Chain A
Amino acid sequence: MPSSQVPLRGRTVKQQDARTGLLLLTPTLVIVLAVVLVPLAWSVLIAFQRVRLIDVGRMGLFDRFTLDNFARVFASDVLWESLRTTVFYTAGSTFVAVSLGLIAALALRRPFPGRGFVRAAMLIPYVAPVVAVTFVWKVLLNPEFGIVNSWGKQLFGWDDPIAFLSQARGEITLFGLDVPVPTALLTVIAFEGWRYFPFAFLFLLARLSALPGDLEEAATVDGATPTQRFRHIVLPQLMPVIAVLVVLRTIWTFNEFDDIFLLTGGAAGTEVVSVRVYELLTVQRNVGAAAAQSVLLAAVLVVLLGAYLWLLRRREGAKP
């Protein structure tokens, strides 16, 4: 190679770097391909095939294709019911978790003795094993020996214990009117708020600590009250983080399985789509229908992800 006898040094280093870069990344790409992308593609194939759980061992990759699974999934009333539940659950949980996170972050904004401990303690619900925390909540709310019901009876004079996790519809009396409420669904949303507010709190507190103080000081000099400063100076600067948090929480809650499965098993009006996928797979043993349902879920997710990436790009574009 005559032309490279006197190579430009920078260029060969660059070429070498490019090769090393791909080489270093290969193991990651291989495992992501093998355990995420290929299975996803396969899932789409299965969604168009008749596969029962007992056939799994001897099914072919390209067996006869059919639309039966989707027809079955779409025809079922349960789908629309569970989609409605999922949307309500997602919107409620996201709203509660992000709002609580914001309140907590604002409360901890200024230093006080013990702040480090309080901050760490408030992250525990998020890091603790989901199986353990759902179990504690189940016992806390147990109608027979849970502390919430026994205190409710003593302090608030409840006549009967409330079956927080197994009652689909309850009634609360407001101004003499009996208002029906989806008890179990609201309880699950409260749990999500409790478990995931730390995530929002962590990110909002990090952003709050990085805010430059001069704007707020100037506003204080100009006579702005604390709530005015929050409304017009702090909140606008937090909005980008809040937007990202809302999208992330929406994506994750929309597909959440563990929490609801462990708390209610999907009973009492809490059957979200992901729990239904699991039931199609293990109870009805219909792998094809389960795959169809999950592909549908993935489609919704791709739309949400697209929105998120678009938001992210717009944010990066807006930066100087």
Chain B
Amino acid sequence: MTWTRDRVERAVLGVLRPVVIVFFLVATLLPFYYMLMLSLRPIEDLLRRPDSLFPDLGGLTLSTYADVLRPVTEGGQGFLSLLGNSAVVASASVVVALAIAIPGAYAVSRLEFFGRRQVSSLFLVVYLFPSIVLAIPLFVMLTRMQLRGSLIGLVLVYIAQTVPVAIYMLKNYFETIPPSVEEAGLVDGLSRVGVIRRISLPLALPSVIATGIFVFMIAWNEFLFALLFLVERRDRWTVSLGLAQLSGSIEVSTTVLMAGSVVITLPIVLLFFLTERLLSQGLTSGAEKG
């Protein structure tokens, strides 16, 4: 047995690969484990033993969660109502964005019309365009329309931000439906809209759900516009904005805020795990073609 370069490389890579995988797994999950663990510990325990990765099992507490969820009037941080705000904003964004994006995506993928290619580029540009550049004019506009401080203004902005991505994801899916299926419907006397409703939409349902969840996650996680529009109205804060505002103050203890972080993160991670395959496929379908 001689140690050729090939053998050495294979041996080294054979060892390296599991090491790399474990490293990445620890690096991605450790902060989330830390979040969960701190949320269950009393603050005194954290200050006494900052280095421990494992909480004292007897000392676990759920009072942090009660604290963060309870209304402000009862001495809590009012996260329950902030969660309600976020849920309303995100759900409204999903419903309207899908209602707009489904016909749009169908048109871009199936129908030949003047300016179709330009429209696709326009959406790409809008998708890539950064929020901070839009933040100032939108701030001014909504102030003048007296929509600043209202959840409607925020939903409008989220719809505009998510419709282009939604169209991109749905378009990829509509393109995989064989045209012959739709033509059969047209021959049978359905109108285009009838074809979309009766044939294409049911076939595309999984990807419509994945797209809806993606929009929900974007709206739920968004921070900048919530900060600009809602900061003066504590009763209308989204839950992300609430956590950001409170984490700046020294009055709320870290473990309570950790409970808040868990409460924000959990719905998103659950939704993500439920639809992970669909989402990844929807997003990367362009990449596989090279």
Give the B-binding residues of A (Cβ under 8 A): 13-14, 16-22, 24-25, 27-29, 31-32, 34-36, 39-40, 42-43, 46, 51, 56-57, 100, 103-104, 107-108, 118, 120-125, 127-133, 135-140, 144-147, 149-151, 154, 194, 198, 202-203, 206-207, 209-210, 223, 225-227, 237, 240-241, 248, 251-252, 254-258, 262, 274, 277-278, 281-282, 287, 290-291, 294-295, 297-298, 301, 305, 308-309
Contacts and interface: CB of A to CB of B under 8 A. Distances in A.
A81 to B, nearest CB: 18
Query: What class of interface size applies to chain B in its complex with A?
Result: 35 or more
A262 B244 contact: yes
Contact of B29 (A121, A131, A145, A308): A121
B61 interface: no
A13 B182 CA distance: 13
B112 A21 contact: yes
Contacts of B130: 251-252, 254-257, 274, 297, 301
Contacts of A127: 217, 221, 268-269, 272
**Which 5 residue pairs spanning A and B have beta carbons closest together?**
A255-B130, A21-B111, A35-B160, A39-B137, A21-B113
B160 A32 contact: yes
A107 B21 contact: yes
Contact of B192 (A16, A40, A108, A297): A16
B138 A305 contact: no
Contacts, number: 281
B223 A123 contact: no
Given A103-B20, A206-B284, A129 B240 contact: yes
B128 A25 contact: no
B158 to A, nearest CB: 10
Nearest to B139: A281
B269 A35 contact: no
B107 interface: yes
Interface of B: 5-6, 9-10, 13, 17, 20-21, 24-25, 27-29, 31-32, 34-35, 38, 46-47, 50-51, 53, 99-101, 103-104, 106-108, 110-114, 116, 119, 121-126, 128-141, 143-144, 156-157, 159-160, 163-164, 167, 186, 192-193, 217, 220-221, 223-224, 228, 240-241, 243-244, 247, 254, 257-258, 261-262, 264-265, 268-269, 272-273, 276, 280, 283-284, 287-290
Contacts of A107: 17, 20-21, 24
Given A28-B163, A128-B32, A108 B113 contact: no
Nearest to A193: B27
Contact of B122 (A32, A100, A130): A32
A34 B27 CA distance: 42
Nearest to B148: A56
A198 B137 CA distance: 32
The CB with the most chain B CB atoms within 10 A, among A16, A32, A123, is that of: A32
B35 A202 contact: no
A280 B34 CA distance: 36
Given A122-B25, A129-B264, A32 B132 contact: no
Nearest to B119: A25
Given A32-B164, A104-B24, A258-B223, A305 B257 contact: no
Contacts of B156: 31, 35
A24 B106 contact: yes
Contacts of A251: 128, 130
A108 B134 CA distance: 38
The CB with the most chain B CB atoms within 10 A, among A35, A281, A297, is that of: A35
